[in-house]
Amino acid sequence: MLSDFRSKLDKEIGPRKILHIKECEICGYDEYYFIDPETNKQLGMACEGCNYIKRFEFNSKN
């Protein structure tokens, strides 16, 4: 990954571990899915080829 894209990931998602990598259906680059390194909860996904970052927001109703 390019350093400027990693900087965007740091800003949008924060500390993370890669959960899964698959081929992006839009651009063909790698699409990464991330989890929190401490809680193992899904954080989001990103595709460098599309320059797209999505942070998952889960509402907890307990």
pLDDT in tens, 13-55: 999 999 999 999 999 999 999 999 999 999 999 999 999 999 9
Please indicate, yes or no, if residue 62 is contained in any of the structural domains.
no
Which tokens is 33 given? 């899915």
- Report whether 33 contacts 45 (CB < 8 A): yes
Domain count across the chain: 1
Residue with tokens 């500390």: 15
Residue with tokens 């990598």: 21
Q: d(Cα 59, Cα 27) in Å, to the nearest integer? A: 30
Which tokens is 17 given? 């571990």
pLDDT of residue 59: 76
Q: Supply the range of the domain harboring residue 19.
A: 3-55
pLDDT of residue 58: 79
**DSSP, res 37:** T
**pLDDT of 1 strictly over 80:** no
Please indicate, yes or no, if residue 23 is contained in any of the structural domains.
yes
Please indicate, yes or no, if residue 60 is contained in any of the structural domains.
no
Identity of residue 25: E
